[in-house]
Amino acid sequence: MLQDKFIVLGVTGSIAAYKAAELVRLLKKRGAEVQVVMTSSAKEFVTPLTFQVLSGNPVVTDMFEKPVRWEVEHVSLADRADLFVIAPATANVIAKMAAGIADDMLTASVLATRAKILVVPAMNVNMYLNPITQENISFLKEKGFYVMEPDEGFLACGYSGKGRFPEPEKILKVIERLAGVCGDLQNKKILITAGPTREPIDPVRFISNRSSGKMGYALAEAAVERGGEVILISGPTCLPQPSGLYKYIRVNTALEMRECVLEYFPWSDVVIKAAAVSDFRPKNYSEYKIKKKDSATAMTLELEKNPDILKELGEKKQKQLLVGFAAETDEIKENAMEKLNKKNLDLIVVNDVTAEGAGFEVDTNIVRIYYKDGSGEEIPKMTKKELAHVILDRVVKLLKN
């Protein structure tokens, strides 16, 4: 499946370095040519000979060793690479890449390449959750790096938590997507909405909801990885723009979102409405800040209904596959199926926002997916990025049918 793909694998000084040997084996089994680059710290955990035998190529370890061929080696690796993978990636190397430091063969090659770069962090949970590490990871994502979420579990240091190196098979699937092998959304135009909307009361106040936008952004990232041409229309969030988008549009109000969605709806093959659009907006907007009056004990705010964007799309759709989301607290299936039928959806993703690990402002989700024929399936707790790929798997299946 990876025949003729040249993959540079950077191995850094983590105890998980030994697991990278299995990743090399899997890549070779898929037909890829693998060139391993090791940092000096990585050699303290695994010998270069191990990777040389598995990859069939001499391992690059020293910036200044005599090259096998007459060429500037870090530039040569950067030019040849179809994909750069740093697995495991330590906090130190992540910080270097974020700062643009190029003081060894690996970081110099990363800085020189124009290929896609996948970073797979592996470290102590406290190091991973440290605000500096998280800032560096966010910065890399903003600059177009793909960063894979580490697993949770027992760590070699004795702690338990996030920071565990993912299983090599899981990394392989991401590599195949980034290398275009699993481009099952190739040539498909996908419109995704994410985040909340804000409905202004006056210049300083607004009505909104708890949506963080994480599910919609995860769907956009996953769709790009699978070869889709993606437009993301986002309400106000604190999330960095996903890399590789065809277009990224920021909006504030439901009316602004409706205008953008209707503009790009004819362009799209698939529409995924993951945004939490406000159902109501203040009827009368005050151009000046509403002052608190000492004599007043209450304030009445009159609301009017916002347009139902999803229902409007259901009425207008022709070629498009339409996916809706629903946040529910009770009678999950009944409410979901009513919404699916009323709005002419092809499938609906619904979650019980009262369940632990599901809903707003968290990195995980637990959902049920329902289809037009009334069938449904329960999806167990997983990260929103993993769930995004599950949802897209169902979309691809429907597109084929």
Active site residues: 157
Does the annotation place 116 within a ligand binding site? no
Give the C-alpha distances (Å, rounded to integers) separating 84 from 57, 77, 116, 252, 385: 16, 9, 6, 37, 21
Tokens at residue 294, please? 């000492």
What is the C-alpha to C-alpha distance for residues 351 and 384, in angstroms, rounded to an integer?
12
Does the annotation place 310 within a ligand binding site? yes
Does the annotation place 289 within a ligand binding site? yes
What is the C-alpha to C-alpha distance for residues 295 and 300, in angstroms, rounded to an integer?
15
Does the annotation place 86 within a ligand binding site? no
- Whether 363 and 384 have beta carbons less than 8 Å apart is answered as yes
What is the C-alpha to C-alpha distance for residues 176 and 383, in angstroms, rounded to an integer?
20
Does the annotation place 88 within a ligand binding site? no
Q: At 113, which amino acid appears?
A: T
What is the C-alpha to C-alpha distance for residues 267 and 269, in angstroms, rounded to an integer?
7
| DSSP H/E element including 135 | helix 131-142
Does the annotation place 29 within a ligand binding site? no
Does the annotation place 151 within a ligand binding site? no
Does the annotation place 339 within a ligand binding site? yes
**Triad 30, 34, 39: Cα angle to 5°:** 140
What is the C-alpha to C-alpha distance for residues 292 and 22, in angstroms, rounded to an integer?
65
Does the annotation place 325 within a ligand binding site? yes
**Triad 135, 141, 144: Cα angle to 5°:** 145
Give the residue ranges of the annotated binding site for CTP: 279, 289, 307-310, 325, 339, 343
Give the residue ranges of the annotated binding site: 279, 289, 307-310, 325, 339, 343
